[in-house]
């Protein structure tokens, strides 16, 4: 039975306790089709990695010796997220991810201690997950017009946003595990004909909110320098020379990092650079050519 609001004891986590916690890395790995996103599984410890496969694209990792779960419907995707992430005490008993829902899922899938052996969950891909979710949403009552009973796309996409954000947020709160969500990258044009890159997901809500949910957004890209041969690399920082989506909440990554997800996670967990104050430096460089403001007398 869920605990009534306001009755749970308040727990203050001390600084020492917080620093001693083992926290998983939650990230998105994106890139254009065929760049090698799924193949990053080969850089991970197969015995400690669980592959959630929505793509049916096993050819890229044929022979990879790790464990895999194949997902072809939204109910299975949602139940797996509940099993992996545990119950959410904020949910009512009639909602997904609640304690009651978690108990149901554990009865179906088995004791969640089965998951203790896994350090990383690799989800390929959120692009396909959004399509599966949309198909499910179209069959729900919210996607039917109250008057005519005809399909209501506005209702379907509204439900899609709720379902996807709930799913991603629940995975993001998974304690002590790394969660990597693979997504396809599209090149698009804005209203002024200027190209930009965006992740391929159904519905605008998911694409807009996803970067705020995760800790890391990494783009796997082919870099073509002015001199030398092209090479693949991870683009890791929001401000980069290529216009790719990227974000590094750890503060440990350079703009370009070697295309090896296993080593990237080691660096994210490693010590910070020797310039901790650099992130709080709000002064503009002299090259910016901006005059220093005066306050006046």
pLDDT at 295: 46
Task: Report how many domains make up the chain.
Answer: 1
How does pLDDT run across 178-206, given as a tens digit for each residue? 999 999 999 888 888 888 898 999 999 99
What range does the domain containing 70 cover? 23-270
Rounded CA-CA distance 35/180 in Å is 17
Establish if 115 belongs to a structural domain.
Answer: yes
pLDDT at 150: 78
Considering the chain, what is the average pLDDT of its residues?
88
Rounded CA-CA distance 69/116 in Å is 16
Establish if 216 belongs to a structural domain.
Answer: yes
The stretch 271-278 carries a mean pLDDT of 61
Residue 271: pLDDT band (50, 70, 90) is confident
Establish if 2 belongs to a structural domain.
Answer: no
Establish if 12 belongs to a structural domain.
Answer: no
Establish if 39 belongs to a structural domain.
Answer: yes
How does pLDDT run across 27-86, given as a tens digit for each residue? 999 999 999 999 999 999 999 999 999 987 667 788 999 999 999 999 999 999 999 999
Tokens at residue 284, please? 């503009």
Residue 294: pLDDT band (50, 70, 90) is very low
How does pLDDT run across 78-135, given as a tens digit for each residue? 999 999 999 999 999 999 999 999 999 999 999 999 999 999 999 999 999 999 999 9
pLDDT at 296: 47
The stretch 136-162 carries a mean pLDDT of 88
**How far out from the chain centre does Cα 180 lie?**
6
Predicted structure pTM score: 0.86
Q: Do residues 105 and 38 make contact, with C-beta atoms less than 8 angstroms apart? A: no
Establish if 211 belongs to a structural domain.
Answer: yes
How does pLDDT run across 144-156, given as a tens digit for each residue? 887 666 788 899 9
The stretch 269-278 carries a mean pLDDT of 67
Among 13-17, 54-58, 142-146, 208-212, the minimum mean pLDDT is found in 13-17
The stretch 281-285 carries a mean pLDDT of 62
Establish if 208 belongs to a structural domain.
Answer: yes
Establish if 56 belongs to a structural domain.
Answer: yes
Return the CATH number at 239.
3.40.50
β-pairing, 120-124 vs 49-53, is parallel
Q: What values do phi and psi take at 154, rounded to 5?
A: -60, -45
How does pLDDT run across 222-256, given as a tens digit for each residue? 999 999 999 999 999 999 999 999 999 999 999 99
């Amino acid at each position: 039975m869920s605990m009534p609001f306001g009755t749970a004891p308040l727990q203050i986590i001390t600084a020492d306790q917080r620093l001693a916690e083992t926290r998983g890395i939650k990230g998105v790995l994106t890139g254009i089709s065929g760049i090698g996103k799924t193949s990053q599984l080969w850089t991970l410890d197969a015995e400690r990695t669980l592959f959630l496969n929505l793509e049916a694209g096993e050819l890229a990792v044929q022979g990879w010796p790790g464990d895999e779960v194949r997902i072809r419907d939204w109910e299975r995707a949602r139940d797996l997220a509940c099993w992996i992430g545990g119950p959410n005490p904020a949910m009512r008993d009639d909602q997904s991810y609640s304690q009651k829902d978690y108990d149901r899922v554990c009865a179906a899938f088995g004791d969640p201690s089965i998951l203790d052996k896994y350090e990383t969950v690799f989800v390929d891909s959120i692009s396909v997950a959004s399509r599966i979710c949309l198909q499910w949403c179209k069959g729900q009552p919210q996607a039917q017009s109250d008057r005519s009973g005809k399909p209501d796309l506005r209702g379907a996409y509204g439900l899609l946003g709720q379902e996807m954000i709930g799913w991603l947020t629940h995975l993001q709160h998974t304690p002590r595990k790394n969660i990597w969500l693979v997504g396809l990258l599209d090149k698009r044009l804005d209203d002024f004909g200027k190209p930009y890159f965006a992740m391929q997901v159904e519905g605008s809500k998911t694409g807009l909110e996803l970067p705020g949910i995760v800790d890391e957004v990494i783009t796997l890209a082919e870099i073509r320098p002015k001199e030398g041969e092209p090479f693949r690399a991870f683009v890791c920082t929001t401000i980069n020379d290529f216009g790719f989506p990227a974000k590094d909440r750890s503060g440990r990554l350079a703009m370009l990092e070697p295309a090896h997800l296993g080593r990237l996670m080691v660096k994210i967990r490693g010590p910070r650079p020797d310039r901790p104050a650099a992130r709080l430096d709000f002064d503009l460089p002299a090259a910016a050519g901006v005059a220093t403001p005066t306050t006046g007398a």
